[in-house]
A = this chain, B = another copy of it.
């Protein structure tokens, strides 16, 4: 029986799709979805734009695959793992923010698309609607755990802590894109977490 899984061609296809997804992520992060062209993506990979449409049915599908791909590979939208204990949650948030700083492309991609996709016809409109709902729920669960451990400041509700942290983060990223020298994302998030919780946050460890 002939082997059905020929490694050669399949591996080549997979590698090409990897290249296309990476290039598309960069282009969409730079120009957004609508203004980002298949030709610019193709040029980065060194292929013709029609070849992209051989691998992905159309531009909209390509964007969806980029987002799925980033979701799978990045930690950017996961709430801090609570396994280490409620007291470590704020530090985990800050580690996440520091990790994102090292891969600014993903941050810019999400920040740009989050705004662009606010209109119903945008191909990632539903994606961001669901994503925000999910992340809010994850953040709320994390802060609720802290509340149960008595680590939130009096009067601070987990829902407020979650929403304010997430929205502050997004807003900081927008300003950071315009003036990265003027905005200290990690430092400002630390300040917010110190306001929300009673946990001591060492700048050496977390910033």
Q: Give chain A's interface residues, CB within 8 Å of chain B.
A: 30-32, 34-35, 108, 111-112, 114-119, 125, 128-129, 132-133, 136, 153, 155-156, 160, 163-164, 166-172, 174-175, 177-179, 182-183, 188, 191-192, 194-196
How would you classify the secondary structure of chain A's contact residues: helix, strand, loop or mixed?
helix
Specify which chain B residues have a CB less than 8 angstroms from the CB of A34 in the assembled complex: 32, 34-35
Number of copies of this kind of chain in the complex:
2
Q: Is the CB of B30 within 8 A of A119?
A: yes
> How far is B184's CA from A136's CA once the two chains are assembled, in angstroms?
13
Specify which chain B residues have a CB less than 8 angstroms from the CB of A125 in the assembled complex: 178
Specify which chain B residues have a CB less than 8 angstroms from the CB of A172 in the assembled complex: 163, 167, 171
Specify which chain B residues have a CB less than 8 angstroms from the CB of A192 in the assembled complex: 164
B32, B35, B178, B182: which contacts A128 (Cβ < 8 A)? Answer: B178
Known: A116-B116, A133-B182. 10 other contacts (CB 8 A): A31-B119, A32-B34, A118-B174, A125-B178, A128-B178, A163-B175, A167-B172, A168-B168, A170-B175, A195-B195
> What would be 25 A-B contacts, judged by CB atoms less than 8 Å apart?
A34-B34, A34-B35, A35-B35, A112-B115, A112-B118, A116-B116, A118-B178, A128-B178, A132-B175, A133-B182, A153-B195, A155-B194, A156-B195, A160-B191, A164-B168, A164-B188, A164-B191, A164-B192, A166-B175, A167-B171, A167-B174, A170-B174, A170-B175, A171-B171, A171-B174
